[in-house]
Chains A and B, each alone.
Chain A
Amino acid sequence: MRRLSTAYAPVAAVIVAVIAVLVWFLPSYYTGLLTLIGIYALVTIGLNLFMGYAGQVSLGQAAFVGIGAYTSAVLAVKLHLTPWLGAVAGAVAAALVAFALSFIVLRLRENLLALATLALGIVINVVFNEWDFIGGSSGFKGIPGFALGSFVFDQRAYAILAWVLVGVGIWFAGNVVQSTYGRALIAVSAGELGAQALGVNSEGLRRQAFVLSAVYAGIAGAVYASSFTYIDPTSFGFLLSVNFVLMSVIGGLRSLWGAVIGAAIVVALGQILQTVIPLVLPGARGDFQSFFLGVILVAMLILMPRGLTSRFASDGAA
């Protein structure tokens, strides 16, 4: 009998079904938030494979979301390619960039790896900003939506799409972490030299996990671009990368459900802070939101380093 926390596919299916019903009753504002949570959860599931299981850190994940978003948007606007293929292309583009960058950044460990991924995220964002072909600082407007036959996706459909992808993403990642492959990721993060002495190429393993995390981010980016119909470089900045780490840490690094819970909490907190901060600190600007999220991140790392899900479930070693 498998525990609920490791029955990834059935639980994911139930969540998707609930959301598919829920969107018919929610005000459109909340449907939009639900879509955003789904998109962020997808990124964080991929990030957890790299951070939680392989024991690495990435402070540049927003860049891969951006690469997915821009790839899909450019192909849709300039070449009239359907976003379905755009999402595939976005995932491939993000994967290729991650693969190339991995030869530089994955030689580094811990703090240096964090700094290197942070720097790469910023550099990629500069490219978004300066490259006129992809809109430069003014970004891309009027990005075509997903469609099935003659049905062009509305807000409800995007919420369902995002969460179907979360379901598929959690099914795939769940299979990975429950396989010998996932155990190897943990082995390398727990005792690298010991694993290497058995023939495990730790750098190769980390590279695959890094590229896989970029695939998740790239697909999420393509959905983001089409559902919001507008992207610009600020959508994929450093703060978004920090938020992904925050979602990861809050939910629990070595937990796939934690990624979903973390994404929901961070998005909800953002909304609450947006309402509460002006009441408490009149005249405060948006930066204060990041400030408070930062405080929460530090508090989490000190008080609950294994995340919220560590209290009621762990789906590392089943």
Chain B
Amino acid sequence: MTHEKIILAVITMNGGRVAGGAPIFICQTKEEMEQIAANLEAILDGIAHEVAEGLLIIVKH
């Protein structure tokens, strides 16, 4: 099965709000989140999207 779009990683400051299949990175600060998201974006060739305040996902399009 192939996926058109897939969540590769979740970066959040609130670990209690997310669960599920994708790797979850729990951070303390917004800066830390942004840094991890920027690295993951470059490594995974995906786009960092802001789903809600303090919740970023990396999506492969």
A binds B: no
Give me the interface of B with A, judged by CB distance under 8 Å. none
